[in-house]
A and B are shown apart, each in its own frame.
Chain A
Amino acid sequence: QSVLTQPPSVSGAPGQRVTISCTGSSSNIGAGYNVHWYQHLPGTAPKLLIYGNNNRPSGVPDRFSGSKSGTSAALAITGLQAEDEADYYCQSYGGSLSGYVFGPGTKVTVL
Chain B
Amino acid sequence: QLQLQESGPGLVKPSETLSLTCTVSGGFISSSSYYWGWIRQPPGKGLEWIGTVYYNGVTSYYSPSLKSRITVSVDTSKNQFSLKLSSVTAADTAVYYCARQVTTADAFDIWGQGTMVTVSS
Question: Is the pair B109, A44 in contact by a Cβ cutoff of 8 Å?
Answer: no
Interface residues on B, range: 20 to 34
Residues from chain A with a CB closer than 8 A to the CB of B37 are 100
**Chain A contact residue count (CB 8 A cutoff):** 27
Question: Does the CB pair B97–A46 fall under 8 Å?
Answer: yes
- Asked if B106 and A34 make an inter-chain contact with CB atoms under 8 angstroms apart, the answer reads yes
Looking at the complex, which one of A2, A48, A99 makes contact with B46 (CB distance below 8 Å)?
Answer: A2
Q: What DSSP secondary structure best describes chain A's contact surface?
A: loop
Cβ of A91 to closest chain B Cβ, rounded Å: 7
Q: What residues on A are CB-neighbors of B99 within 8 Å?
A: 46
Assess the A97–B52 pair: CB atoms within 8 A: no
Q: Inside 8 A of B97's CB, which chain A residues have their CB?
A: 45-46
Contact of B114 among A34, A38, A45, A48 (CB under 8 A): A45
Q: 9 A-B residue contacts at CB 8 Å?
A: A33-B106, A36-B108, A46-B99, A48-B108, A51-B102, A51-B105, A52-B107, A89-B47, A105-B47
12 new A-B pairs (CB below 8 Å) besides A46-B47, A52-B105? A34-B105, A44-B113, A45-B113, A46-B99, A51-B109, A89-B46, A89-B47, A91-B47, A91-B49, A99-B62, A101-B49, A104-B46
